[in-house]
A and B are shown apart, each in its own frame.
Chain A
Amino acid sequence: MRIGVITFPGSLDDRDAQRAVRAAGAEAVALWHGDHDLSGVDALVLPGGFSYGDYLRCGAIASVSPIMNEVIEAAGKGMPVLGICNGFQMLTEARLLPGGLIRNDHGAFIRRDQRLRVESTDTAWTNGFAQGQEIVIPLKNGEGEYVASAETIERLEGEGLVAFRYLGVNPNGSLNDIAGVRNERGNVVGLMPHPEHATEPGFGPDTAAAMRSGVDGLTFFTSAIAALQAA
């Protein structure tokens, strides 16, 4: 199983995403934004960071990168695509996911270990979770407030397209506490928090059992492998 991680100018978390893919048991394939080539991968991760320095809008310039033609085509054919943080922003800019991300309502950058509730488990990236399961993964962004038109929010809620919701605190003013969304087919998922930073004991969020032992993010990647094996 080969999962590609696309590096854009200004990506920060591409290496962590590659490590997460390997920790889950798949081969990580480094892809470059300027290529028109997905190297035959089975799934894709658009990692976090500050592509193009957030110029124009977060993710906007990266969303028209050469490789995005292939990403959009592959997503349309059902390939699992996960957008994390800046990658989520790119997916909304590319219109692969609805809504948009704007500056946090309090105006500050925020970094915290964030509780989330898994709201949708019939996707390529969440099938290993239980419906309503609570997880903790890191959140770190300046522009993570999820917004969409009232009609779009109504549709997302009505059709079960909210993938993750913030629990405890809403860290950025996101509408309906939405932390992540999915497409109708369930192959494309995007969220602001960072599953790839919670995949290895010793480097994840603190848990009741031990400091930094949280690996809730690993299930995103094992879910994708399971989805590909089932396909």
Chain B
Amino acid sequence: MPTIVVDVMPKAELLDPQGKAIAAALGRTGRGTFDVRQGKRFELTTDAAVSDELLASVQEIATEVLSNGVIEDVVGVHVVEDAPRESQGA
């Protein structure tokens, strides 16, 4: 069964307090200095065959439900087959 992965990130121009807290913790623990931003990964698994229609539908779900365009951006929608390592961009 194919899994479609949707990645969502807070808008670049908005402050990401979670990422900021993680970056501060990395600094405190001596792991280096980084800018960190925290996003979300959704995995949608379906019985349906992957088609342009399905991907269009998932794109719509990503834009209208999984993210809020006022505060977030959908940064990736791609198909992953059964084995997660055999991922391919879409």
Known A102-B10, A107-B20, A107-B21; contact A173-B15, beta-carbon cutoff 8 A: yes
B15 touches A99 (CB 8 A): no
The stretch that binds A, out of B28-36, B44-52, B66-74, B77-85, is B66-74
In the assembled complex, B90 has its CB within 8 A of some CB on chain A: no
CA distance A149 to B65 in the complex (A): 19
B70 touches A148 (CB 8 A): yes
Of B10, B15, B66, B72, the residue contacting A105 (CB under 8 A) is: B15
B17 touches A103 (CB 8 A): yes
A100 touches B15 (CB 8 A): no
CA distance A101 to B70 in the complex (A): 9
Which residues of the other chain, B, contact A101 by a CB distance below 8 angstroms? 71
Known A102-B10, A102-B14; contact A56-B66, beta-carbon cutoff 8 A: yes
B18 touches A103 (CB 8 A): yes
B17 touches A147 (CB 8 A): no
**Whose C-beta in chain A lies nearest to the C-beta of B14?**
A147
**Whose C-beta in chain B lies nearest to the C-beta of A92?**
B70
A149 touches B70 (CB 8 A): yes
Which residues of the other chain, A, contact B20 by a CB distance below 8 angstroms? 107
**Whose C-beta in chain B lies nearest to the C-beta of A98?**
B70
CA distance A53 to B37 in the complex (A): 22
Of A64, A107, A148, the residue contacting B18 (CB under 8 A) is: A107
Majority SS of interface residues in chain A?
A: loop
Closest chain-B Cβ to A151's Cβ sits at a distance in Å of: 12
Q: What total of chain B residues lie within 8 Å of the partner, measured CB to CB?
A: 13
B68 touches A60 (CB 8 A): yes
Closest chain-B Cβ to A145's Cβ sits at a distance in Å of: 8
A99 touches B18 (CB 8 A): no
Most A-side CB within 10 Å, residue of B18, B65, B66, B71: B71
Q: Find residues 75-134 in chain A having any chain B CB closer than 8 Å to their own CB.
A: 92-93, 98-107
Which residues of the other chain, A, contact B65 by a CB distance below 8 angstroms? 56, 60, 64
Which residues of the other chain, B, contact A57 by a CB distance below 8 angstroms? 68, 71-72
CA distance A103 to B17 in the complex (A): 7
**Whose C-beta in chain A lies nearest to the C-beta of B11?**
A147
A100 touches B18 (CB 8 A): no
CA distance A101 to B72 in the complex (A): 11
Known A105-B17, A107-B17; contact A99-B70, beta-carbon cutoff 8 A: yes
Which residues of the other chain, B, contact A105 by a CB distance below 8 angstroms? 15, 17
Q: Find residues 1-37 in chain B having any chain A CB closer than 8 Å to their own CB.
A: 10, 14-15, 17-18, 20-21
Known A56-B66, A102-B10; contact A147-B71, beta-carbon cutoff 8 A: yes
Chain A residues with a Cβ under 8 A of chain B:
56-57, 60, 64, 92-93, 98-107, 145, 147-149, 173
Question: Can you sample 26 A-B contacts with CB below 8 Å?
Answer: A56-B65, A56-B66, A57-B72, A60-B65, A92-B70, A98-B70, A100-B68, A100-B70, A100-B71, A102-B14, A102-B71, A103-B17, A103-B18, A104-B17, A105-B17, A106-B17, A107-B17, A107-B20, A107-B21, A145-B15, A147-B14, A147-B70, A147-B71, A148-B70, A149-B70, A173-B15
